[in-house]
Amino acid sequence: MLQDLISFLGSPANWSGSDGIPLRIVEQLWYSLLAVAISAVLAVPVGLVLGHTRRGESLVAGIANSVRALPSLGLMTLLVLLLGLGLVPPILALVVLGIPPLLAGSYAGVRNVDASTVDGARAIGMSEFQVLLKAEVPNALPLIVSGLRNASLDVIATATIAAYVNLGGLGRLIFDGMAVYDYGQVATGAVLVTSLALCIDAMLAGLVRAVQPGRRVRGRDSREISLLLRDRAGDAAASAVTSD
Amino acid sequence: MTAPLELPHSLWAIDNWDTVSEMLVQHIWLAMIPIGAGLIIAIPLGLLLCDSPRARAVSIFVASAIYTVPSLALFLIIPGIIGTQLLSPVNVVVALSLYSTCLFLRSVFQALDAVPRAVVDAGVAIGHSRVQRKLRIDMPLAIPVLTASARVVAVTNISLVTVGAVIGVGGLGGLFTAGYQRNFPEEIITGIVLTILLGLLVDRLIALIGWWLAPWARPESRKRPRRRVVAHLVTTEA
């Protein structure tokens, strides 16, 4: 395996042109980025609002669970048969896969913010929109980014299958290699997809850590803010009691 | 003379039940062997490693790295490592067993952490040895956590098996590749529906086994605590 792999990777012809390795990596990243971005635009606002209103928990859990059972290859081939070849059907399939983790992440993130923090934000006179944006979202970021991480991994892995329905990406190396029994090419595709997934995962894991409340973000410590809000809620409650 | 009664739409799955049932049986094997293998590997490994924080950290890191490897890539890297044929069903079984082991290992640790200290102390007090304690206290108490993760593993495996269809071993996934090549959506829809139904069925079945094996963990009323369900979903994936 290693010999086939090295000889394929070592051949300069495989590193340039319209079917070169760099272009395949860029294609794979492009499909994944496009799909994850669309999923995020669709899923995150819905998750945040549902989390803020504390509604629809069973809906979110249901969507998250049902997509685990949905076979991605089936969805992709079906969409291509129904909508035709091209970029849209496979991307649509990837978007469907990307939505549940992002929805669950943003919902759970907001839903699990300490109630006293939220009450504090309300007590100092924030509007509901401000409560969501200034108190809930900063505290929810780690779970939102975890959702992004899960979605990205699912999408990058499945984007490989897009080559089966005539798209590019690293899956091209796998399917073209299988067609001509060139294990070097197949193994190169598989190893590159794996490396890509591991790199992206490590980057997003770093991001999850970077957005933990308590780290200094933009000069102000978000945990400090939430503690501050909690204290003010206490003050507001105390003054309400004493004024009676 | 009356014309024989003809249904306007006869279901493709019923007309081709021989083909479909063969795929279904292969699908069940490909998805279920890895669950057994995963449990057999992960439980002893988890018991062995759980006492050393360093071994735990390393094994969790390795497990989540393996779980990050895309399934199609793993199906194709495995023959290069263990020397099987590129299109052998063994590749799919080994790959899914690896994923299952990684998921189970994490929940074995979680389950062992959740064993109440007082119960362990009571076991020591009545003279259990280390091994006895693990087998007779830790393991039974881990059953609810393990059945919960077995349900996740089963549904994931059942869905992932279909990816194997592009290398010729995918159980019901074969309906996707065949339907795609013949431009026949109904065949693909049949595959999707049956895969989801199989997932639901096995999910319920494992839940039932867990209910039967762990009577103490049965919910007392219909009111289930649902609070952190979604948070749990998010953190146990990946």
Residue range A79-132, pLDDT digits in tens: 999 999 899 999 999 999 999 999 999 999 999 898 899 999 999 999 999 999
pLDDT beyond 90 at B233: no
pLDDT of A230 reads 55
What integer is the mean pLDDT of B72-90? 92
Q: Which CATH number fits domain B12-215: 3.40.190.290, 1.10.3720.10, 3.40.1030.10, 1.10.357.10?
A: 1.10.3720.10
Give the range of the structural domain holding residue A163, as residue numbers without chain letter.
Answer: 2-239
The stretch A162-191 carries a mean pLDDT of 92
Tell me, what's the pLDDT at B238?
A: 39
Contact yes or no for B235 and A74 at CB 8 A? no
CA distance B109 to B92: 26
| Residue B226 confidence (pLDDT) above 60 | no
- Least-confidence region, from A147-156, A202-211, B3-12: B3-12
The domain total for chain A is: 1
- Yes or no: say if B200 and A69 are a contact pair by the CB < 8 Å rule: yes
Residue B33 has which token pair?
Answer: 């062997």
Domain residue extents for chain B: 12-215
Chain A nearest CA to B202, separation (Å): 11
Cross-chain residue pair B167–A57, CB shorter than 8 Å: no
Nearest CB neighbour to A77, from listed B155, B159, B176 = B176
Does A185 map to a domain?
yes
Number of Cβ within a 10 Å radius of residue A21: 18
Mean pLDDT score, A57-74:
88
With a CB-CB cutoff of 8 Å, which residues 85-144 of chain B face chain A?
86
Q: Residue for token digits 């279904």?
A: B24
Tokens of A139: 């505290």
Q: For residue B143, give both structure tokens.
A: 């059953």
Interface size between A and B, measured as CB pairs under 8 A:
169
In chain A, what are the helix, strand and coil shares in percent, each to the nearest 5? Answer: 80, 0, 15
CA-based nearest residue in chain B for residue A105: B234
Has residue A190 got a pLDDT over 90? yes
If you search the block for the tokens 């994936």, which residue do you land on? B237
Question: Measured at the alpha carbon of residue B46, what is the angle toward residues B40 and B51, in degrees to the nearest 5?
Answer: 155
Whole-number average pLDDT of chain B: 87
What CATH number has the domain bearing residue A155?
1.10.3720.10
Q: Which residues of B touch A198 (CB under 8 A)?
A: 65, 68-69
Q: Which of A67, A68, A73 to mutate to test the interface with B (most CBs of B within 10 A)?
A: A73
Instruction: Give yes or no for B149 touching A (CB within 8 A).
Output: no
The label of the residue with tokens 């040895």 reads B129
Mean pLDDT confidence for B39-45: 94
pTM (predicted TM-score): 0.84
Parallel/antiparallel/unpaired status of strands A216-217 and A220-221: antiparallel
In a domain? residue A244: no
A186 contact residues in B (CB cutoff 8 A): 76, 86
Q: Whose CA is closest to A34, among A151, A142, A190, A143?
A: A151
The residue among B158, B230, B235, B236 with the most chain A CBs within 10 A of its CB, best to mutate, is: B230
Average pLDDT over residues A191-214: 93
Residue B22 C-beta-side C-alpha neighbours within 13 Å: 6
Q: How confident is the model at residue B51 (pLDDT cuts 50, 70, 90)?
A: confident
Tokens linked to B79: 């023959």
pLDDT of residue A141: 94
Domain contains A9: yes
Please tell me the predicted confidence (pLDDT) of residue A226.
55
Residue A89 C-alpha from the chain's centroid: 19
Contact status of A84 with chain B (Cβ, < 8 Å): no
A242: confidence class by pLDDT, cuts 50, 70, 90: very low
pLDDT of residue A236: 52
CB contact at 8 A, A46 and A63: no
Residue A15 falls within a domain, yes or no?
Answer: yes
pLDDT score at B6: 57
Residue bearing the bigger pLDDT, B130 or A142: A142
Alpha-carbon torsion, ordered B187, B193, B197, B203, to 10 deg: 110
Residue B10 pLDDT exceeds 90? no
B174 interface with A at CB cutoff 8 Å: no
Q: How far apart are CA A90 and CA A163, in angstroms?
A: 9
| CA A189 from centre of chain | 23
Question: B34 near B91, Cβ under 8 Å?
Answer: no
Look at chain A and count its residues.
244
Arithmetic mean of pLDDT over chain A: 86
> Which of A76, A169, A105, A145 has its CA nearest to residue B179?
A76
Q: What is the ipTM of this complex?
A: 0.83
Give the mean model confidence (pLDDT) for residues A168-173: 93
- Comparing alpha-carbon positions, the chain A residue that sits nearest to B70 is A157
**Is the pLDDT confidence value at B9 over 70?**
no
Instruction: Out of A31-40, A82-91, B90-99, B126-135, pick the least confident.
Output: B126-135
